[in-house]
A and B are shown apart, each in its own frame.
Chain A
């Protein structure tokens, strides 16, 4: 069972470069999320989506963009990479938004900005 798949697993960027972190889920979940995790810290929500065509900001959206053209995919875009965006990025999905549906996470993308 694939679940939530994130690519790439690792990436090194130079300051000012751009890239897209890919996230795909095969569970027909309508909710999807992007989190970042800095060393020794908990996860912080960047963006989330409640369905195709609908996205909204989380607590740390600056420097990122997202789109949700299909139910399965939720890419995260960094336009001008900065050292502060060095982090581990996790994508998650859930079937529907209620207090009774757990989020399922991918294995993360480790991004370094040099």
Chain B
């Protein structure tokens, strides 16, 4: 079972920031938070991951709360091509970490 909780759907206006929340209240100290997205019928695409600190790359920013029980993926300037299902996944560093457990994710729709 997925160890994360995400809203099933969200909408965002093109050009605005998209903030996708994720709850992972049972996360343990050595587990990373990963974000992937899946654009219609394509393979999942890696976006970003983090352990404790906030992270930023060319695609997005990841904000992790101090207690690590929740996080937010931020797409700073959403475009129509960002419409996809976004998956938040927690993943350990050893023993049982050989798989990504995908839940149902959040369907993000970016509107013109």
Contacts and interface: CB of A to CB of B under 8 A. Distances in A.
Interface of A: 4, 31, 33, 35, 40-45, 48, 50, 56, 58-59, 88, 90, 92, 97-100, 102-108, 110
Interface string B35-47: 0000001111110
Chain B interface helix/strand/loop/mixed: loop
Given A48-B99, A56-B98, A59-B99, A102 B43 contact: no
Contacts of A4: 43
Interface residues of B, number: 27
A105 B43 contact: yes
Contacts of B51: 99-100
A110 B31 CA distance: 32
B93 A99 contact: yes
Contact of A100 (B93, B101, B105): B93
B44 A105 contact: yes
A111 to B, nearest CB: 13
